[in-house]
Structure 1
Amino acid sequence: MLWPYQVKTVPSLPEDAVRLDVVEQRIVPPEEDVVLIAHRQRIVRGLRALFAAGVAALGLLVTIQVVMIVEDRSRVQPGLVMMAIFWLVALVVGYDAAKGMLKPLPRGKWSELVAVPASGLATLGCRIQWPDGRWSDALLSKVDPALAANVFGTQRLWIVGEAFRGATTFAGVPGHAVLGRVRFN
C-alpha cells in the first residue's frame, strides 16, 4: 500500500553525513524472498480470518434456523434461510476468488518482460513483449497500486517463473511486498 510522506529537501549533506558504498541488488527466487514471503503470510492470515468469520456466521444462522424448526415447525423463518444461502454463496465465491493467493508461489526465478501499460489501475491492461520479440496482451487484476506504479514507471513487468500464452501467474517486484495476478492472452 502506498502512503504519502512529507519530506524536506536540503541543498547539501549535513556535516556528520557519511557516504555509503553502493549496495548491489541481488534478485533471489520468490520462494527465498523474505519480504515477499512475509507479505504473503499476512495476506493468507487475513483471508483465513475472513473465511473463519464467514463460516461462523453461516453456522450461527443455520443453528438458529434448526433450533427454531425443532421448537416449533411453524416458526420457519424464510429470511434466515435466505441469509444462510447468501453466506454460503458468498463463501464459495470468495474462496474461488482467493484460492490463487492461498496456494504457495510457484518455484522458479523472476522473469522480466517489457510491458507497455494500456489502461486501468485496479485492473491494468498491458502490451507485453515476449523474449522472442512478439507482442501480446496481458491483464493484471486487482493490482496493488505500487505494482501499477512500477509498471507505469519502468515499463517492465516482473513475473514469477516463465511466461507463456494463456497462462495465469504472479507478478510483483523482486525484494518488495508487491504481488498481483497476471493473465497472458
Structure 2
Amino acid sequence: MDEFLVELCRSGTIGPLTLGVSPPDVVQRIGEPRSVKNGQGDDCFQWYRYCPAELSKRRYSPLELTMRCFNRDSRTRRGAGLDLALTRISLTFTSNEPLTLPEAITQRPIASAASLQLAEAHRLLTEHGVEMTRDHEQVLRRPLSDALVRVVSDGDGFVSQMELGWWPRPGGWFYSEENESGVWVTGPPGP
C-alpha cells in the first residue's frame, strides 16, 4: 500500500488540506476544482471535484471534497454558502492505474489501492502501525479526535474509496438542506 494512503489513514491528513477550511482556503491551497456542484440546488452543500484533464469529460473524479454549511439560525436557507466548511475528503479508486492528485497535495502519482482486497489493506495498515477496526464486512474505520477515516470496498471486496469526514459535525449543528421532496431540513445532527 502506498505510503501516502497509509499516512492518510494514520493521521487523517492529505497534503495541505484540513477539515474545516473554507472554499477560498481550499482553492488557495490546492487550486481551482474542475467542477463545483451544488447539492439539490442549494449552495449550503457543495462538491468540489478535482481530476486530471484527461478524466474531466467523465463523471469519475479521483478527489472529491464536500463543503457543508453550518448555521445556528434555522431560518437560514439559500444563500448561506458563506458559512461553508470542508467536511469530507474522498479518494476514489476505479482502476489499477496510479492516482493523480493536484501537485499541491503530492507531486507524484499515488499507487492505486483498487487492486487490494479490503482484508489485505487491513493487514498492511496493521503492519504499518495503523489500527483500524472493521465497521462491517466492507468498511474499515479509524476514529480520530473529531474525524473518521474510512476505507471502503465494493461488493467484490476490493478497495474502492478512502475518505476522511468530520464527525460529530462542528458546533453540534447540522447544515440546512432541501430534501428530495422539497422540504427544508435544519436541526441538530443525528445519532
TM-score tier by shorter-chain length is under 0.3
Which structure is larger by alpha-carbon Rg, 1 or 2?
1
As a proportion of its length, which structure holds more helix?
1
Instruction: Give the TM-score normalised by the residue count of structure 1.
Output: 0.24
As a proportion of its length, which structure holds more strand?
2
